[in-house]
Structure 1
Amino acid sequence: MKYSRLGSSGLNVSRVCLGSMTWGIQNTQAQADQQIEYALSQGVNFIDTAEMYPVPPNQHTQGDTERILGNWISRNPQKREDIILASKITGPGISYIRKGNGIDGKSIVQSVDASLKRLQTDYIDLYQLHWPNRTSPHFGRHLPNKVRFSDVDPEYEINSMLEILMALDECIKAGKIRHCGLSDDTTWGIHQYLKLAETHSLPKMVSIQNEFNLLHSKDWPYLIEHCCHEDIAFLPWSPLSGGMLSGKYLDGKRPAGSRWTYEQRMGLFRDTPNSEQAIRGYIKVAEKHNITPCQLALMWCDNVDGITSTIIGATTMAQLEENIAAFKLPYSETLARDINQVLKQHIATF
């Protein structure tokens, strides 16, 4: 396993981050335990979760993923220091979490305490904002005018960010979290948090996790360039585009137990004719190079300049083994060229 520095945090994280959002609905405690143990045996030291998980979210299972991870930690306390543990506070819009309200200073402190209790640990290594209070151009909202930036009150948003940073600083000083980061945010969001941190001597955001994959590469080059030069780790989530890049959903197929057999909070916005066409192209490339479509997608992601650690998820051990193995395979110039031939035709697919 290879490792990279997590932005300016000084922490070294594996190039593979074990995602956990299936634990509690698609995966049981025993299955999650098996995933954790296997990932650790392969050198993975980075695990990502969130107070909202499992996905698809609902009020009856909210927090169960952290509880499942906490149960494992309670039975393996000697391994806690071997793990870089990341979690996230939910943004606005979930009615049963803080009545759907946005993130503020009070909610930061309360959510950190609640996550620590569920995780059965004294500290969280990386605490992230799951999405910003303002509407951001993610989850299929990246086409021009899907979000009206001119309608945003920047002064209001910046004051909100300052309050959030002050609360994160309080949690860091109390030893509850070590570092803080962003998720589903933008270059402007990163820039404002950096300015506030410098001006007010507050913690610097060390990372951002955004959706990034062969069907959705919009963060290249501008946001990733910003991360590189400001020493912020870029952590792609959904590197398989919700499982689409495996090819298992082509022609309307819905394999039993797969994610798309569950109700989707945002709908199947990734499921477009252009996406299907791109996936077929990548499958041909994978066949040519004798790798699986999933491995192709993960190898590409890992080899994009500026990527720190790719967040993977799996519902079966066979999937997890296949995905982790991808990070050990050689990425040749010929493979990169063949992938780019397809990518150039399908820069935006949904």
Structure 2
Amino acid sequence: MNQISLGQSDLKVTPICLGTMTFGEQVSEPASHAILDRALARGVNFIDTAEMYAVPTRVETYGATETIIGNWFAANPGVRRRVVLASKVAGPSRATPWVREGAGMTAADIIASCEGSLRRLRTDVIDLYQIHWPERHVPAFGQMYYSPSKETSSTPIPEQLEALGRLVREGKVRYIGLSNETPYGVHEFVRLAEQLGLPRVASVQNPYSLLNRSWENAMDESCHRLGVSLLAYSPLGYGLLSGKYDEGGTTGAQAPAAARLTMFESMRKQRWGRKESWEVGKLYNQLARDNGLTPTQMALAFCYTKWQVASTILGVTTVEQLDEDIDVWGTQLTPQVLQAIDAIRKLHRDPAQ
């Protein structure tokens, strides 16, 4: 894998990123360290985490993932210099009052969150610090439509940028990014950064998979023209595109017992648990099999080869899963398969949007 630049920054990352939200919930600390070791050995230099992880969020596991990664750095001197480390500041409370109360996300909130992450990660600097979800009310996490009546924004974007700029000036953060954003949000952050001489966003971390290609409905042009990179999360649609739920669903007798959608009812209530997501996922999975591919190979190759994607974030629970996902790198989908993928989307759109 050749390294690529994120946006207009000088961060050089691999086009595969290790996501860590399962560390501390589904994955123990020793198993997490084994996955981190393996990712580094396989050439992956990009690690993504967040202050609110592990997922699903619980007060008992708040900050656990960053702590596990920090312990890995401490146990392996020199490793920190070999990786590009990304983390995220949580937006206003989304059923996570132990992270932040109230509707806003003030400059003080951002500063305090970053300093907490630095302590847990046992590092002096976070290479890419991202706003996990907008302070504004936006269509995200399964909400499809923007509604002005639901707007509760109380922290202006300039205040958020000023806080991030302070962290950059103090050397605690190198570059900034966004997540779960909209075209308006990206344009406004870039416009204000350029106008006010504040840090410019390097990347946006949004969902992108066969089950959710909403990025291609305006975000791709916006970010291409602004020079902002996409970090694609949930490329396997929470496992729906791996084929493991095809026969047993998420709750039946044949459902995979150790899988996220089987274990956690809260996740089944989200976009990935929709009946439509499961049904359309099965269509894509059968298309893969009909063309001599595993569902995982087709779903990841789709993300790995799209011009819109700078780096694909892999969420795994075992070293074996990590190897399987990395091994897909280099797989090319034929024009016929890509046409068939588009045909399915034309009929079913984005069920996990």
Contact 1:234 1:309 in 2 (8 A): yes
Contact 2:18 2:314 in 1 (8 A): yes
Cα shift readout 1:13-71 (whole Å, capped 9, x = no counterpart):
11111000000010011111111111111111110000000000111110000000000
Contact 1:8 1:231 in 2 (8 A): yes
Is the deviation greater in 250-259 or in 127-136? 250-259
User: Equivalent of 1:182, from 171, 174, 178?
Assistant: 178
Q: Counterpart of 1:234 in structure 2: which amino acid? A: L
Contact 1:57 1:265 in 2 (8 A): no
Cα shift readout 1:180-221 (whole Å, capped 9, x = no counterpart):
000011110111111111111000011100111111111104
User: Percent identity between the aligned chains?
Assistant: 38
1:152 CA drift (Å): 4.1
* Distance (Å, rounded) in 2 between the aligned partners of 1:26 and 1:11: 30
* Distance (Å, rounded) in 2 between the aligned partners of 1:2 and 1:341: 32
User: What is the match of residue 65 of structure 1?
Assistant: 65
User: Equivalent of 2:141, from 120, 139, 142?
Assistant: 139
Aligned residue-pair number: 344
* Distance (Å, rounded) in 1 between the aligned partners of 2:103 and 2:147: 21
Secondary structure at 2:124 match in 1: coil
Are positions 1:114 and 2:110 aligned together?
no
Note the residue ranges of structure 2 that are not aligned, 5 or more in a row: none
Kindly report which structure 2 residues correspond to 1:52-131, keeping only aligned pairs within 5 A, or say none: 52-93=52-93, 94-131=96-133
* Distance (Å, rounded) in 1 between the aligned partners of 2:274 and 2:87: 31
Q: Counterpart of 1:140 in structure 2: which amino acid? A: G
* Distance (Å, rounded) in 1 between the aligned partners of 2:290 and 2:276: 22
- Give me the TM-score of the superposition, normalised by structure 1: 0.93
1:160 CA drift (Å): 1.5
User: What is the match of residue 249 of structure 2?
Assistant: 252
Q: CA 1:255/1:100 → structure 2, altered by over 3 Å: closer, same or farther? A: farther
Structure 1 vs Structure 2 CA RMSD: 1.8
Cα shift readout 1:66-105 (whole Å, capped 9, x = no counterpart):
0000000111231211101000011112211122553210
Q: CA 1:294/1:66 → structure 2, altered by over 3 Å: closer, same or farther? A: same
* Distance (Å, rounded) in 1 between the aligned partners of 2:311 and 2:11: 12
User: Equivalent of 2:236, from 240, 245, 251?
Assistant: 240
Note the residue ranges of structure 1 that are not aligned, 5 or more in a row: none
1:330 CA drift (Å): 2.7
Q: Counterpart of 1:166 in structure 2: which amino acid? A: E
Is the deviation greater in 43-52 or in 28-37? 28-37
1:332 CA drift (Å): 2.8
Are positions 1:29 and 2:26 aligned together?
no
* Distance (Å, rounded) in 2 between the aligned partners of 1:126 and 1:178: 6
Kindly report which structure 2 residues correspond to 1:34-49, keeping only aligned pairs within 5 A, or say none: 34-49=34-49
* Distance (Å, rounded) in 2 between the aligned partners of 1:348 and 1:271: 13
